Structure formats: structure tokens, C-alpha cells
């Protein structure tokens, strides 16, 4: 068990809808990362938050947004959903703003999103 909690495990929704994915980092970790894993694109970095502030942005669509709350949990909001947004969404956490030997990424079990 990595200590990173993601809810829900599965989500099925229709095109055009909006969903929110939730992540609680490991106890003591200040950084939260969001990744999208799809068959054609592999694992893509979306966005990172550190102690409530946006730290880095990757291949995140404008229809997607995220935030990290004072209790350090994070939410990823996906709106105007398209069929191509179907994927496994991972949250990961680390203890510092950057990564390293003593601060690797620890992943949650992911949320499987299916858009129909």
C-alpha cells in the first residue's frame, strides 16, 4: 500500500459531462502529481501542486483543471468530456517540490474513467 488514496476507483459517464477525481497524498507529502495513462499516449504528466500552489504543468487540456486544498488533498476536474478522455488517471505524491532518491513518486491505485 503506497499510502496514496484515490477515489472513486471507477467512473462511467457520458460525453459532455463533468467529473471530479479525488486524491489524498501520503501522510506528510506536500506534492501531488496527476498523470493520465491511456493505451495510445502512455503515461502523461498533467499537473503538479506543491503545498497548495501549482508547481508545474504538463500536457493538461484546458477542459481539465486541478487544485490542492489546505489539508493537501487534491482534486482533478474534467469537463466537457470526450470519448478520448477515457483513461486511467493516477495521482502520485512526494515529500518535496522536486523528486529524488529520497523523495520518489508514490502512486495511488488510479481512477478508471470511461466516457460513453
Partner 1 sequence: AQTVTQSQPEMSVQEAETVTLSCTYDTSESDYYLFWYKQPPSRQMILVIRQEAYKQQNATENRFSVNFQKAAKSFSLKISDSQLGDAAMYFCALYSGGGADGLTFGKGTHLIIQP
Residues near partner 1 (CB under 8 A) are: 2, 33, 35, 42-43, 45, 48, 55-56, 58, 88, 90, 92, 97-101, 104-107, 109-110, 112
Q: Are 78 and 17 in contact (CB under 8 A)?
A: no
CB of 115 to partner 1, least distance (A): 18
Q: In this complex, which beta carbon is closest to partner 1, that of residue 33 or of residue 64?
A: 33
Mapping DSSP to helix (H, G, I), strand (E, B) and coil, where does residue 49 land? strand
What's the alpha-carbon Rg for the chain, to the nearest Å? 13
Q: In this complex, which beta carbon is closest to partner 1, that of residue 15 or of residue 95?
A: 95
Q: Which residues pair with 13 in a beta bridge?
A: 115
In 3-state terms the chain splits into helix, strand, coil percentages (rounded to 5) of 5, 55, 45
Residue 35: closest CA among 73, 92, 82: 92
CB of 8 to partner 1, least distance (A): 14
CB of 112 to partner 1, least distance (A): 8
CB of 35 to partner 1, least distance (A): 7
Which three cell numbers mark 58?
504538463
Query: Quick count: other Cβ atoms within 10 Å of Cβ 88?
Result: 15
Q: In this complex, which beta carbon is closest to partner 1, that of residue 14 or of residue 42?
A: 42
Q: In this complex, which beta carbon is closest to partner 1, that of residue 28 or of residue 42?
A: 42
Amino acid at each position: 500500500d503506497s499510502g496514496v488514496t484515490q477515489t472513486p476507483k471507477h467512473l462511467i459517464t457520458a460525453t459532455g459531462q463533468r467529473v471530479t477525481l479525488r486524491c489524498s497524498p501520503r501522510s506528510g507529502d506536500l506534492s501531488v502529481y496527476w498523470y493520465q495513462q491511456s493505451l495510445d499516449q502512455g503515461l502523461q504528466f498533467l499537473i503538479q501542486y506543491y503545498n497548495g500552489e501549482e508547481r508545474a504543468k504538463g500536457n493538461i487540456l484546458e477542459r481539465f483543471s486541478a487544485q490542492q486544498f489546505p489539508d493537501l488533498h487534491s482534486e482533478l476536474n474534467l469537463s466537457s468530456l470526450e470519448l478520448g478522455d477515457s483513461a486511467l488517471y493516477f495521482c502520485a505524491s512526494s515529500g518535496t517540490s522536486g523528486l529524488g532518491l529520497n523523495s520518489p513518486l508514490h502512486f495511488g491505485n488510479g481512477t478508471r474513467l470511461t466516457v460513453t
